[in-house]
């Protein structure tokens, strides 16, 4: 089969398509014919530097998610030809992932879906929408009467979060570093846009002097302390992203740094449950949500797709389709 294998970290052109054997089926794992998949920030980091970490063993076929059809169900409850999505659990990290025509994934990370969407549309959903959905409705316990700030609103996860929050009627503020992305955020459903230029706090306080009730923090540790101070009493911040390239916080002093009565939580998409995935897809169907797709590439254009993500100009989910789709 054709696959794009990471053999060393570096610029996007380290991603070259080569011929490799189709993975051997094994008990408890499902062989999926990959139809399409979404590109993820974590794959960018893997290609740039994380591939050198001691816990990553190259060569590795990257790709933490995919959509496709069951090619061989092995001894699992799936059936050949079933439409599935697969994500996480070490996919594309501790075992080979979706940058290929076929991928072998543990059954508990494979979910049957009956969504009536094209493969390209479906590919924009699993990781991005699961992350946004879990962050909003599980970790943040979002409700219609909340006022939500999404920091890093122009990321794919941010755009998905805007759509999901709007679908239940929540008031949504979204941030970007770039004034020219204001319209994208408004068109996606944001009520107001804040610019990450060092004055975000005062922009927010001008609109909501008491602060907001919920914050989805996709920039991460770099802006977390400020975010906690933009919440009203009993407000919740959920740290889901690390767009600000800072995963940890030096000298974090919880008693002083977390304002009294403010709640700090997080979300990690590593263990998707069937319940949450089913709830996500029925929510998307019920609210007729169409994912925002930036551009569709083919498997042999993965280097170009990575370059586009690196430019920060994608404005939506980057989707890769199998050349033989
Ligand atoms: N917790 C989890 O399980 C989980 C799962 C999925 C994703 N994530 C994380 O969620 C975040 C979003 O992922 P994604 O795939 O949706 O990203 P993405 O679509 O690639 O996001 C691109 C946008 O991020 C913004 N950005 C880039 N560098 C930034 C910086 N230094 N400071 C502020 N904003 C910056 C830019 O927006 P502007 O130019 O408009 O400012 C850019 O357009 C990432 O940190 C990712 O690792 C976490």
Residue of 218, 197, 203, 192 whose CA lies nearest to 131? 218
pLDDT at 238: 98
Residues 6+ positions from 285 with CB-CB distance below 8 Å: 115
pLDDT at 175: 98
Cα separation of 148 and 166, whole Å?
Answer: 10
Torsion over CA: 206, 211, 213, 215 (sign): positive
Cα separation of 271 and 299, whole Å?
Answer: 27
Mutate which of 218, 222, 268, 317 for ligand 1? The one with the most ligand atoms within 8 Å of its CB, which is 218
For 185, the enclosing helix (H) or strand (E) is: helix 182-188
CATH architecture of residue range(s) 2-125+291-321: Alpha-Beta Complex (3.90)
Q: Atom 36, ligand 1: which residue's CA is nearest? A: 312
Distance 177 CA to ligand 1 centre (A): 12
pLDDT at 292: 96
Residues with CB under 6 A from ligand 1: 40-42, 127-128, 131, 152, 154-157, 176-178, 181, 196, 218-219, 240-245, 267-269, 309, 312, 314
Break the chain into its structural domains and give their ranges: 2-125+291-321, 127-266
pLDDT at 287: 97
Distance 152 CA to ligand 1 centre (A): 6
Mean pLDDT, range 13-21, rounded to an integer: 95
Backbone angles phi, psi at 120, to 5 degrees: -65, -45
Residue of 148, 134, 146, 82 whose CA lies nearest to 110? 82
Mutate which of 50, 125, 150, 155 for ligand 1? The one with the most ligand atoms within 8 Å of its CB, which is 155
Q: Atom 46, ligand 1: which residue's CA is nearest? A: 241
% of the chain with per-residue pLDDT over 70: 99
DSSP-based three-state secondary structure for 240: coil
Residue of 166, 162, 164, 317 whose CA lies nearest to 176? 162
Is the overall model pTM greater than 0.85, yes or no?
yes
pLDDT at 109 over 90: yes
pLDDT at 325 over 90: no
Distance 158 CA to ligand 1 centre (A): 8
Cα separation of 193 and 22, whole Å?
Answer: 47
pLDDT at 324: 55
Distance 145 CA to ligand 1 centre (A): 26
Mean pLDDT, range 168-190, rounded to an integer: 98
Asked if 176 and 182 touch (Cβ cutoff 8 Å), the reply is yes
pLDDT at 164: 98
Residue of 234, 311, 212 whose CA lies nearest to 226? 212
Query: CATH 3.40.50.720: does it fit domain 127-266?
Result: yes
pLDDT at 20 over 80: yes
Mean pLDDT, range 80-101, rounded to an integer: 98
pLDDT at 204 over 60: yes
Condensed to tens digits (0 to 9), the pLDDT of residues 206-261 reads 999 999 999 999 999 999 999 999 999 999 999 999 999 999 999 999 999 999 99
Q: Which residues pair with 83 in a beta bridge?
A: 69
Residue of 10, 14, 28 whose CA lies nearest to 73? 28
Q: Model confidence at 273, in pLDDT bands (50, 70, 90)?
A: very high
Mean pLDDT, range 142-156, rounded to an integer: 98
Distance 157 CA to ligand 1 centre (A): 7
Distance 250 CA to ligand 1 centre (A): 21
Condensed to tens digits (0 to 9), the pLDDT of residues 119-144 reads 999 999 999 999 999 999 999 999 99
pLDDT at 176: 98
Distance 153 CA to ligand 1 centre (A): 8
Q: For strands 317-321 and 29-38, give the pairing.
A: antiparallel
Locate the ligand 1 atom nearest the alpha carbon of residue 44 and give its number.
20
């Amino acid at each position: 089969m054709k696959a794009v294998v990471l053999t060393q970290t570096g610029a996007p052109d380290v991603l070259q398509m080569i011929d490799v054997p189709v993975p051997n089926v094994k008990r408890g794992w499902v062989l999926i014919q990959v139809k399409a998949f979404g590109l993820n920030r974590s794959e960018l980091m893997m290609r740039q530097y994380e591939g050198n970490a001691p816990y990553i063993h190259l060569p590795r076929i990257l790709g933490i998610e995919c959509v496709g059809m069951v090619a061989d169900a092995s001894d699992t409850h799936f059936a050949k030809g079933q439409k599935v999505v697969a994500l996480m659990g070490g996919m594309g990290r501790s075992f080979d992932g979706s940058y290929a025509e076929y991928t072998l994934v543990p059954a508990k990370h494979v979910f049957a879906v009956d969504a009536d969407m094209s493969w390209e549309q479906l590919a924009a959903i699993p990781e991005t929408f699961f992350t946004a959905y879990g962050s909003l409705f599980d970790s943040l316990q979002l409700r219609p009467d909340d006022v939500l700030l999404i920091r890093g609103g122009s990321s794919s996860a941010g755009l998905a979060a805007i759509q999901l929050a709007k679908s239940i009627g929540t008031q949504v503020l979204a941030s970007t570093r770039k004034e020219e992305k204001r319209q994208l955020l408004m068109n996606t459903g944001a009520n107001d846009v804040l610019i990450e230029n060092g004055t975000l706090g005062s922009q927010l306080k001008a609109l909501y002097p008491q602060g907001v009730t919920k914050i989805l923090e996709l920039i991460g540790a770099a802006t977390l302390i400020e975010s906690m101070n933009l919440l009203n009493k009993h407000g919740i911040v959920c740290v889901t992203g690390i767009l600000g390239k800072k995963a940890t916080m030096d000298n974090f002093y919880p008693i002083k740094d977390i304002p009294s009565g403010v709640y700090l939580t997080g979300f990690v998409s590593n263990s998707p449950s069937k319940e949450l995935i089913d709830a996500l897809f029925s929510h998307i169907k019920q609210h007729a949500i169409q994912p925002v797709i930036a551009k569709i590439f083919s498997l042999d254009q993965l280097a170009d797709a990575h370059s586009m993500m690196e430019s920060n100009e994608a404005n939506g989910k980057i989707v890769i389709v199998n050349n033989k789709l």
